Amino acid sequence: MAQRRKKEAVSEKKRPVADAYIAGAGTIVDESVTETLKSNFMPYAMSVIVSRAIPEIDGFKPSHRKLLYTMYNMGLLNGSTIKSANIVGRTMQLNPHGDAAIYDTMVRLSEGNGALLHPFVASKGSFGKAYSRDMQCAAARYTEAKLAPISAELFADIDKDTVDFVDNYDATMKEPVLFPVTFPTVLVNANMGIAAGMASSICSFNLKEVCETTIAYIKDNDINVADTLLAPDFSIGGELLYDREQIEKIYETGRGSFKVRGTYTYDRDNNCIDINSIPPTTTTEAIIEKVVELVKSKKITEINDIRDETDLSGLQITIDLKRGTDHEKLMAKLYKMTPLQDSFACNFNILIASTPRVMGVKEIISEWVAFRSECVRRRVYFKLSKAKDRLHLLKGMQRILLDIDKAIKIVRETGEEKEVVPNLMIGFGIDEVQAEYVAEIKLRHLNREYILKRLEDIEELEKTIKEMQSILDSRSKIKRIITDELEEVIKKYGKERKTALVSAQIDDASADEVPIDNSPVTLFFTRDGYFKKITPQSLRMSGEQKLKDGDKIVQTIESANDYDLLFFTSAEQVYKSRVIDFSDGKASVLGEYVASKLDYDEGENSVYMVATKDYSGFMLFVFDNGRISRVPLSSYETKTNRKKLIKAYCGKYKLHTVFHFTEDCDIILKSTGGRMLIVNTASIPLKASKENGGIAVMTQKKGQRIYTAKVYKTGRLENEHRYRTKNLPAAGSMPHKDNAAQAKLNL
């Protein structure tokens, strides 16, 4: 403690004068990690969640709202487009996070980019394309923009106190907290965001279906949303694999996924496929690159050429086919093996009163209706207040109508200007506001005709006030207003679906029909874990196999591309793959290092490879202590596409050798003590449990272990009955020194 105080004293001397006014500056304080996270990370995380990444009930993030409100203030709802750079510069009055981020936001909201089902920004110039990774937008100084007509629905009555306003970052301007949107924009346009510790992924829905569903919900809260809101709809089109049960689950929980695939047409004259829409989760470049990869690895052999022919008319990927190719079967294969068919993951996470909530569609609509009801209520109250103020002024003017001459006389005979209003108040029994209004009337308007025209409004105002008050007192009338507005939105902006719906069962059937390349290949597996797949034609033309220094081939298997591969490792694990997943090789190359390709754990090595199509036969695990385990290969077959199986064999004993047999045979064991034992695999019990320890087969003396385990062919040893036994375990027998056949076994 003394040393600590001394250090603090020294630091006090060296501390700048400015720091002397900061309490505790320079001191070292012990603080737990949990307290640091609470005091530093949690406020940051909440700031990202609330102020950046997660949309609110009006369907916008703060960056969207700041940009669109700036454009609204600039009068861009009407008139012609202006340079995007001008808009970006003005937006920095509300959003000081750099012009690049603002322009990127504008690009995504624009018609030219095509990311939204109903864009809010009308664009002119190159704004890139959402379906292309390489087609970038032009710089802000070259493009132009304005608000699209549908944006009028975002700002309807925003100047009538429908939403709250707050100061901008430097308190020089006001900006809205939310937009008083007249339809559920949160569901109409896709919105994705990644915050700290949570994310949001909201797919887009058809505007007409959303509005009709909202109207149906307002009339009856117990509706089934899926009856009117059929399925998501994307600006890029495509086909959605429709499963009613799956869609209803997403609507109920706000989580889940569905599959979307691209659409195509077949040009019979040119024998080519034209892909004209793709899933919203991918790009044309990603699809082309994957197809090229599959063609190079010969997993797809029906394609001559693929190219991107996208132009001003829209997206198009053209695939030239080889003669005789069945285009439907090829497309089924492409849907299965490329991003041309992809899943869209839903996570309907929305901020409600600054609190993130994952909600189902019905709950989102309920929250929006509550929000919109409050907007309508505030608008009606605002108009009611204005009407009451107007009525109050006209009531004062009505008093003057009784005696205009008296009013003129009071004004004329008042000695000082400041006494005019008080004298009018006394003379006609009106309040100060009414008297001020009367005093400001021009002399030319002090005629009976002008005053009578103004007074005609009193009766109409009283009716209007009564009607507005009844609206405020009735929820049903407010809901009727919302319903009328939604019906008007449908008339103005409703469009037919862009994304077609196809049965998910059709996709499952077509996937089963995808042909798999079953051409023959020869597999080579080396001691150091290198793998080669060589076609018969290449093998006939090959010379000596190239290997790493000190390495050697330990397995050579005649197989085919449709076989499964199982790689047993030193860590009691199995990594599953397929022969077709490896590229064709040559004798002149080292091959592919399996540990890297299949992402082995650190320090893990391959010990044995199995190639199988039907998972027939069994595995035989020989351990150093003379125990042998026999496991059916079918125990390693899985229904799902699991790539890694743990506890593939017993880890209690040190593994010596692994075999895969399709039928029973003899194996010969030799221990380090020289004894040999011939055992038929049928005498070893077959156990389905992969990690069973097997049975003791060859007993070992202290310090001895299994030295060799090989397949034995009858007749290779003289007096081979000496090495067989009826009972297990057995110690085995010592061979005769003059047994010539012994040398042939190379044991």
CB 649 within 8 A of CB 621: yes
Which pairing describes strands 317-321 and 272-277: parallel, antiparallel, or unpaired? antiparallel
Comparing CA positions, the residue from 647, 523, 654 lying closest to residue 579 is: 523
Q: What is the dihedral of CA 21, 27, 31, 35, to 10 degrees?
A: 20
- Which is the catalytic residue, given 69, 72, 103, 142? 142
Comparing CA positions, the residue from 502, 484, 489, 499 lying closest to residue 205 is: 499
Cα of first residue to Cα of last residue in the chain, in angstroms, is 73
Residues 6 or more apart in contact with residue 111 via CB below 8 angstroms: 119, 121, 122, 123, 127, 148
CB 153 within 8 A of CB 183: yes
Give Cα separations from 621 to 165, 345, 474, 556, 710 (angstroms): 74, 43, 80, 19, 12
Q: Is 142 a catalytic residue?
A: yes
Cis, peptide link before residue 729, omega less than 30° from 0: yes
Comparing CA positions, the residue from 574, 568, 584, 573 lying closest to residue 523 is: 584
What sign results for the dihedral spanned by CA atoms 398, 399, 405, 408?
Answer: negative
For residue 300 the two structure tokens come to 């797809």
| Residue 548 burial (C-beta neighbours within 10 Å; 0-12, 13-18, 19+) | middle
Residues 6 or more apart in contact with residue 2 via CB below 8 angstroms: none
Distance between CA atoms of residues 335 and 554, nearest Å: 38
Residues 6 or more apart in contact with residue 281 via CB below 8 angstroms: 260, 339, 342, 343, 344
**Which 3 state secondary structure label does DSSP give 437?**
helix
**Which 3 state secondary structure label does DSSP give 427?**
helix
Region for residue 211 given its phi and psi (left: phi exceeds 0; alpha: psi -120 to 50; beta: otherwise):
alpha
Region for residue 89 given its phi and psi (left: phi exceeds 0; alpha: psi -120 to 50; beta: otherwise):
alpha
Give Cα separations from 154 to 59, 163, 181 (angstroms): 10, 12, 4
Distance between CA atoms of residues 178 and 64, nearest Å: 11
**Catalytic residue positions?**
142
